[in-house]
Amino acid sequence: MSMIKIRLNGKEISRYVDDNMLLVEFLREELRLTGTHVGCDTSQCGACTVHLNGKAVKACTTLAASLDGTEITTIEGIAGDELHPMQQSFNDHHGLQCGFCTPGMIMAGIDMVERYKAQGKTLDSASIRRELEGNICRCTGYHNIVNAIDDAAKKMNASSENS
């Protein structure tokens, strides 16, 4: 057992975790944050994507015991009083169908927009498609997901320029 102290969705928490417990199990089973989905358990599908210290990671291959002192954001932690622009764009562009992959897609999309902006790069349709390689959707054919991320990128970049 290991004691971890983390900042999760803006709140400090401390818990004992088994040394072999995965982050996705910790979030879903211990903390009841079920927005992070378990798809493949092998880091292939992206349904379990969360942010660790501001970067997208697959929670199915991250040991919870290794997270002491880190900051984790899940799909439950991105919206305030209103939907996050990425969530709103997925809604507006119908970037979902069954919804299973959606939390991971949204978390990957936010990471993508923030990384490209930090690097001074322009995010376009081809870049979005390439970046989504680690996230699998079996329903939508990706077209609406790409449109949603593109739209959200414009909104997120415009709001940060206005701040």
CA-to-CA distance for 104 and 50, rounded, in angstroms? 7
- Average pLDDT across the chain, whole number: 93
Q: Residue 42 is part of a domain; what is its CATH number?
A: 3.10.20.30
Tell me, rounded to whole angstroms, the distance of Cα 14 from its chain centroid: 22
pLDDT, position 160: 66
Q: Token pair 């119908």 is at which residue?
A: 94
- The pTM is what? 0.92
pLDDT, position 69: 97
Residue among 71, 95, 101, 72 nearest 83 (CA):
95
Tell me, rounded to whole angstroms, the distance of Cα 45 from its chain centroid: 12
Stretch 146-158: mean pLDDT? 94
Residue among 118, 81, 45 nearest 153 (CA):
118
Full residue range of the structural domain in which residue 136 is found: 85-162
**Residue 58 sits in the same domain as residue 93:** no
Stretch 6-33: mean pLDDT? 96
> Over the stretch 64-100, which tens digit does the pLDDT of each residue have?
999 999 999 999 999 989 999 999 999 999 988 888 8
Stretch 112-134: mean pLDDT? 93
> Which residue, 22, 54, 77, sits at the end of a domain?
77
pLDDT, position 158: 85
**Residue 101 sits in the same domain as residue 155:** yes
**Residue 157 sits in the same domain as residue 94:** yes
CA-to-CA distance for 33 and 64, rounded, in angstroms? 14
pLDDT, position 163: 57
**Residue 113 sits in the same domain as residue 156:** yes
> Which residue, 77, 108, 123, sits at the end of a domain?
77
Q: Which amino acid is at 62?
A: T
Contact 10, 76 (CB under 8 A): no
Q: Residue 142 is part of a domain; what is its CATH number?
A: 1.10.150.120
**Residue 50 sits in the same domain as residue 109:** no
pLDDT, position 161: 67
pLDDT, position 66: 96
Q: What are phi and psi of 71, to 5 degrees?
A: -115, 130
pLDDT, position 162: 64
pLDDT, position 44: 83
**Residue 67 sits in the same domain as residue 101:** no
CA-to-CA distance for 73 and 154, rounded, in angstroms? 22
> Over the stretch 23-41, which tens digit does the pLDDT of each residue have?
999 999 999 999 999 988 7
The number of domains in the chain is 2
Percent of the chain with pLDDT over 70: 98
CA-to-CA distance for 54 and 151, rounded, in angstroms? 21
Residue among 31, 36, 33, 34 nearest 16 (CA):
31
